[in-house]
Amino acid sequence: MRIASPGGRSHWVVFVFVGQQAFGEMDGRAKYLDEGFRGERSLEQVLLEEKNREDEIRGITGHREIRWGYGDLASLRAFGEKLVRFGIEGRALR
């Protein structure tokens, strides 16, 4: 889903939990640790950019952001339990 910011930029979120006021994103370690993904940016820059992006998305939409990694997907049950801990319930889990 595309989210337009007042500054004219666009942010994209991967998962939308309809009716739950939440977005979800898969996070891999490579995004932070692999220099090929980071380019010329330091780990600190990548983390600060990600934090600022999330803050802007929350400010625009009023929705929260839920992140998970590969380890959270070990089983469907474990992943569902994680989502419930973050308040995602009902039809969003079906």
- Which residue numbers in the chain have pLDDT < 70? 90-94
Quote the pLDDT of residue 40: 93
Alpha-carbon dihedral angle through residues 26, 54, 33, 86, given to the nearest 10 degrees: -40
The pTM for the full model equals: 0.80
Burial of 92 (0-12, 13-18, 19+ CB in 10 A): middle
Quote the pLDDT of residue 42: 93
Quote the pLDDT of residue 8: 87
Q: What is the DSSP letter of 91?
A: G
